[in-house]
Structure 1
Amino acid sequence: MTARIALITGGNRGLGRATALAVAENGIDVIITYRSHADEAAAVVDEVRALGRTAVALQLDTSRIVEFGPFSTQLREVLAATWQRDTFDYLVNNAGSAALTPLGQTDEAAFDQMVDVHFKGVYFLTQELEPLLADNGRVILTSTGLARFVGIGPYSIYASVKGAVEVLTRYLAKQLGARGITVNAVAPGPVATDFGGGRVRDDAEMRTAMGSQTALGRVGEAEDIGPVTAALLGDGMSWVTGQRIEASGGTLL
């Protein structure tokens, strides 16, 4: 059988790494991208290979649209050389960063960075790579629980842009449905990674406060989220599209 291939942006750490390992455990080969920290990306490649799957890491800054054309060309070359294919099956738009944006203290650069990496970059990368997606493939966008509830911290721009991502999810599902491609958004709640400077991971008081707001009584771990994305790539989810899947442990129900 032809190996299935997932491309996961920002796959060198956090949720991206957890997703790469989860999909590899489900028998899927992996291409991860990384903006920096090539050593981390190489370590993830080794972990995926240890699970018996093929893996490749490619450098990409998902906030820089000018890089997308050359990246697409490089991806075509990697697909041909490594898998003897001209398509891949699953695109997971995971890469991102967080910024505090309190009203009255937010500059245009911080605003633009949130838009560029979480919305503009996602849109144009998906547009660039859509011709390389196999029919009956999958696209996953990453949202956040903060698009539904107001959490701790001034994340208004980050959350608002993720709201736009959820609208984009539905439009992409409609546009790509004719090719059998499903499009869904995964919306994590508070997760203990290095995201946003690692505050949820490292600040015990914040962990306790956020955990108390969940039905399950704790904040999430990256390993709670990766398998959710992996499940959406599974054969049993082929009739699910245009949906927002929140994985937040029941935060602020």
Structure 2
Amino acid sequence: MGALAGRTALVTGASRGIGRGIAERLGRDGARVGVHYGRNEAAAKETVAAIEAAGGSAFAIGVELGLPGDAEALWEEFDRHADGVDVLVNNAGIGTSSALGQIDEEEYDRVFAVNVKAPHFIVKRGLGRLRDGGRVINISSGLARTAAMPDLMAYSMTKGALDVFTRDLSKVLGPRGITVNSVAPGIIDTDNTAELLHGTEGGWAQAAALSALGRVGETADVADVVAFLASDGGRWVTGSWVDATGGSLT
């Protein structure tokens, strides 16, 4: 029996990258996993298939975030597959933003709608579905606390807002035994960082040098931290910001 046997998880943005790694790990731990995706249905089905091939159970939910009514639509789709959730991972997000001199109001509003507003209302609309003793895990970023990267200012601001949400939500949900934490990755090898790591000369070496461990992170490095917080072993950790940057902030 896995650590999450009999529990249901929902991971937003789980069709690829860090989200897929988290979904697959929670599936291996025994959870039935809702694999949310925005547009790439084929990728989400691949994630579901991978979970099932490893002996787990999963289902796909397709709802584009950042639009009016997105949270309600997501839960309506979820309700077709499950009657409650034990682990909610707010992972979906826009992973970049234009610099101050280039960003316009439309892009600014979009990145905040997906990265901040969506998780806020997904939780709000999901309170009746989230079981007592459950887990909420928000995927933040090392950029919320590390040295400034002004070219990603708006993106970094969204993650700072998400961390405040984590802190305050832990007090709201604590009486129900629900823990709430932020997990902050550094540079992880995904399609979102492909240009930096693989398309830039010396990019991989520069990224590896940022970590105290001297390597670039993998999705499993983040997924394993999330899995701990989702398990009974993480029961006494709440309201925390967990550094999963491989020592990039030291």
What is the TM-score with the length of structure 1 in the denominator?
A: 0.92
Q: Greater shift after overlay, 173-182 or 44-53?
A: 44-53
Q: Distance in 2 between matches of 1:236 and 1:201?
A: 36
- The amino acid that maps onto 2:128 is P
1:13–1:151: structure 2 CA closer, same or farther, 3 Å change rule? farther
Aligned-residue offset at 1:65: 3.6
Q: Which amino acid aligns with 1:71?
A: L
Partner in structure 2 of residue 24 of structure 1: 27
Q: Helix, strand or coil for the counterpart of 2:127?
A: helix
The 5-angstrom pairing of residues 87-126 of structure 1 reads 87-126=84-123
Separation in structure 1 between the aligned mates of residue 68 and residue 227 of structure 2, nearest angstrom: 27
Distance in 1, matches of 2:217 and 2:149, equals 15
The DSSP-based 3-state class of the residue aligned with 1:154 is helix
1:82 maps to what in 2?
A: none
| Secondary structure, aligned partner of 2:42 | helix
More displaced stretch, 181-190 vs 93-102: 93-102
Q: Is 1:211 aligned with 2:214? A: no
| 3-state SS in 2 of match to 1:127 | helix
Question: What SS class does the counterpart of residue 78 from structure 1 fall into?
Answer: coil
Deviation for aligned residue 1:196:
5.5
Residues 195, 5 of structure 1: alpha-carbon distance in 2 compared, 3 angstrom cutoff: same
Distance 1:190 1:206 in 2: 11
- For 1:52, the equivalent position in structure 2 comes to 55
Q: Unaligned regions of 5+ residues in structure 2, if any?
A: none
2:183/2:242 contact within 8 Å kept: yes
Instruction: Tell me how large the CA RMSD over aligned residues is.
Output: 1.7
Structure 2 CA distance for partners of 1:199 and 1:135, relative to 1, 3 Å: same
Deviations 1:178-231 (A, max 9, x none): 111100000000111112664335435222112112101122111211111111
CA distance in 2, matches of 1:67, 1:252: 34
Q: Give 1:138's aligned residue.
A: 135
Would the alpha carbon gap of residues 206 and 100 (structure 1) be closer, same or farther in structure 2, given more than 3 Å must change? Answer: farther
TM-score scaled by length of structure 2: 0.93
Structure 1 residues 94, 198: CA separation in 2 closer, same or farther (over 3 Å shift)? Answer: farther
Of 186, 190, 198, 2:187 maps to 190
Read off the aligned partner of 1:158 and give its amino acid letter: Y
CA separation in 1, counterparts of 2:130 and 2:85? 5
Which of 9, 18, 25 in structure 1 is aligned with 2:12? 9
Q: Identity of paired residues, percent? A: 37
- 204-213 vs 5-14, which deviates more? 204-213
Partner of 1:83: none
Matching residue of 2:157: 160
Partners in 1 of 2:70 and 2:93 — Cα distance? 16
Asked if the contact 1:23/1:227 (under 8 Å) is kept, the reply is: no
Contact (CA 8 Å) 2:187, 2:193: kept in 1 or not?
no
1:43 and 2:49 matched: no
Is 2:63–2:73's contact at 8 Å kept on the other side of the alignment?
no
1:230-241 counterparts in 2 under 5 A? 230-241=227-238
CA distance in 2, matches of 1:105, 1:67: 28
